[in-house]
Amino acid sequence: MNEQKLIDTAKTLVASDKGLLAIDESSPTCNKRFAKLEIPQTEECRRTYRELLITTPGLGEFISGVILYDETIRQQKKDGTPFVQVIAEAGIIPGIKVDMGAKALAGHPGETITEGLDGLRDRLYEYAQMGARFAKWRAVLTIGTDIPSRGCIEANAQTLARYAALCQEAGLVPMVEPEVLMTGDDSLERSSEVTTKVLQTVFQQLYTQRVMLEGMILKPNMVLPGSTCPQQASVEEVADTTVQCLLRSVPAAVPGIAFLSGGQSGELASMHLNAMNLRLRSRFSVGETLRLPWALTFSFGRALHQPALDLWHGKESNILAAQQALLHRANCNSAARQGEYTTEMDGTGA
Ligand code: 13P
């Protein structure tokens, strides 16, 4: 294992004021989003959409890495240039989603285990040959009555750790994504308690499986009340609760934390990221300056490119507008990394 190469890649992914663009939706998920907009659900449409995103002029100014899907990493621009080459030439690091999706966990109704370890070593070597330099795996945890169970948390944590160790062996930086869904009516406190438990278990397993923490990225959820919880939280409450949860769970050796957006609107995700980073430059509580050991950045899917998809609508004449929408969200989130995002940037300021 080339440790220094892994460390350098991980640091570059979370460096300065850039973040990551996740366009790794599986074909069925991408098709579902196309169907809502009546865009044909074909391989060519998925290719065209991803081409418009990665060829956005200036994208490399705000984006350090792009996460691709198996279909996408094998695709080319209309002129035949491989997507991986397009991304690298924009100064962006190509990455790949390598899990095979969340499946029902036996004996645990309502819970899932992410599959994809079988044959993973060979797939990782193939992706590395194709030019990928990091790889993502998503575990999904649901909050409900008596769940997530210990069995579900531990099975997913161990699976994440085994995938991460295999990535590092293949020279790929693992982007470890344990997503606690924020879709129910649970309180901010319950979301925080579950996210803390999940992250602590994940790091115990990463340590047990000998994953080099300096050569990985964590991709967690922000800590939010469930979307149907009657008591929603302020931006500051979400920021403080999320940072507290991370400080209690994530070792300082990890270079960066790149949040998923998890269905938040683009603006809200930017506001939350901004508030967290603002804490770096301001007083956390009277007389105490909070200094975070890791970079706090973004690895958003929907919160970065849903506006572009809505505008594109499958029409060539809308490509420019769609690219501008993507660049705008990338710019907003880059500002949020520095604590300099304002809602005026989105034209929604008070
Ligand atoms: P969202 O930001 O849309 O949640 O997607 C990020 C991601 O990569 C989910 O696995």
- The series of mean pLDDT values per 10 residues for the chain, 350 residues long, is 95 96 98 98 98 98 98 98 98 98 98 98 98 98 97 98 98 98 95 98 98 98 96 96 96 98 97 90 57 93 98 98 98 96 83
Distance (Å, whole) CA 208 – CA 21: 30
Helix runs in 209-252, H state only: 235-247
Which of 25, 177, 179, 267 is catalytic? The answer is 177
CA distance 301 to 124: 22
Q: What was the pLDDT predicted at 289?
A: 62
Rounded distance from Cα 231 to ligand 1 centre (Å)? 24
Dist. CA 259 → ligand 1 center (Å): 9
Separation between Cα atoms, residue 35 and residue 127, nearest integer Å? 29
Closest residue (by CA) to atom 8 of ligand 1? 22
Say how many Å lie between the CA of residue 302 and the centre of ligand 1: 6
Question: Which of 104, 124, 122, 127 minimizes the C-alpha distance to 114?
Answer: 104
In sequence order, what are the residues at sequence separation of 6 or more whose Cβ sits closer than 8 angstroms to the Cβ of residue 90?
54, 59, 60
Residue bearing the CA closest to ligand 1, atom 5: 301
CA distances from 103 to 31, 178, 219, 306, 345 (A): 19, 15, 20, 26, 40
Task: Quote the pLDDT of residue 347.
Answer: 86
pLDDT, residue 16, reads 83
Of 53, 62, 57, 55, nearest in space to 24 by CA: 53
Nearest to 335 by CA among 284, 254, 291, 275: 275
